[in-house]
């Protein structure tokens, strides 16, 4: 059994979807959710499903050690970010090399980088008159949205699309693909899993 931690800062609909996907999985288990916001909606969503969640101040994610202490307590093997809005600091990266995935709500390398998160991304996509958007799943490195890309899926856009309708299309792709990609990557990372 391999243990996953989800890091999330907001509403947590992806976190909830991932928890549900793995709830009956015999090889992969969502052990804990961590957030930099004590009031984030994600806490209630995952606790309802029986998954513990922990809030730590942003500074402790930067220091790293307090986060690593929680990850050790829950014997976490792999981290997935789902709407997590802080940079992952060096100590955490060093402890989890090629073991941290992120999902970005656009087609990187376009519409990425600092400040490009959540609704800001969809507003920028609409303002640029893009014909498509989508999702990018990638490994994390020390720069926002620059780690190795593992998977992308696209959705067509029309002139009628608004940031809200783009967000809905992108969320649908996230729900459909993120858990499956996590499963594949975790199984490949620990090929002796079982």
Segment contacting ligand GAR by CB under 6 A, of 26-34, 52-60, 64-72, 100-108: 100-108
Contacts for 6 with CB less than 8 Å, ≥ 6 apart: 15, 18, 19, 30, 32, 33, 34, 46, 79, 80, 81, 82
The residue among 52 and 118 lying less far from ligand GAR, judged by its C-beta, is 118
171 is an active site residue: no
Q: Is 165 in the site for ligand GAR (CB under 6 A)?
A: no
CA angle 150, 102, 144 (to 5 degrees): 100
Rounded distance, CA 133 to CA 175, Å?
15
Segment contacting ligand GAR by CB under 6 A, of 49-57, 62-70, 98-106, 124-132: 98-106
Q: Is 117 in the site for ligand GAR (CB under 6 A)?
A: yes
Question: According to CB under 6 A, which one of 14, 35, 36, 133 is a site residue for ligand GAR?
Answer: 14
Cα torsion at 111, 115, 118, 123 (round to 10°)?
-60
Q: Are strands 149-156 and 2-7 parallel, antiparallel or unpaired?
A: unpaired
Segment contacting ligand GAR by CB under 6 A, of 70-78, 115-123, 157-165, 185-193: 115-123
CA angle 181, 121, 165 (to 5 degrees): 85
Q: Is 12 in the site for ligand GAR (CB under 6 A)?
A: yes
Restricted to residues 68-97, the positions that interact with ligand GAR (CB under 6 A) are: 82-83
Q: Is 101 in the site for ligand GAR (CB under 6 A)?
A: no
Integer-rounded Cα Rg, in Å, for the chain is 16
Longest CA–CA span in the chain (Å) reads 49
Q: Which of 29, 43, 104, 143 is catalytic?
A: 104
The residue among 44 and 69 lying less far from ligand GAR, judged by its C-beta, is 44
* Catalytic residue list: 104
Binding site for ligand GAR (CB under 6 A): 8, 10-14, 82-83, 103-105, 117-118, 121, 171, 174
């Amino acid at each position: 059994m391999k243990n996953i931690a989800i890091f999330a800062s907001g509403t947590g609909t992806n976190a909830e979807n991932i928890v549900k996907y793995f709830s009956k999985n015999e090889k992969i288990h969502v052990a804990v959710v961590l957030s930099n916001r004590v009031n984030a909606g994600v806490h209630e969503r995952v606790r309802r499903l029986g998954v513990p969640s922990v809030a730590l101040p942003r500074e402790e994610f930067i220091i790293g050690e307090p986060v690593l202490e929680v990850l050790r307590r829950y014997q976490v093997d792999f981290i997935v970010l789902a709407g997590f809005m802080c940079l992952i600091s060096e100590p955490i990266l060093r402890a989890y090399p090629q073991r941290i995935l992120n999902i970005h709500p656009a087609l990187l390398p376009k519409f990425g980088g600092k400040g490009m998160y959540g609704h800001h991304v969809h507003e920028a996509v609409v303002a640029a008159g893009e014909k498509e958007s989508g999702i990018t799943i990638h490994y994390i490195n020390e720069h926002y949205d620059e780690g190795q890309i593992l998977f992308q899926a696209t959705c067509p856009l029309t002139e009628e699309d608004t940031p809200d309708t783009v967000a809905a299309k992108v969320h649908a792709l996230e729900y459909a693909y993120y858990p499956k990609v996590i499963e594949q990557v975790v199984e490949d990372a620990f090929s002796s899993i079982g």
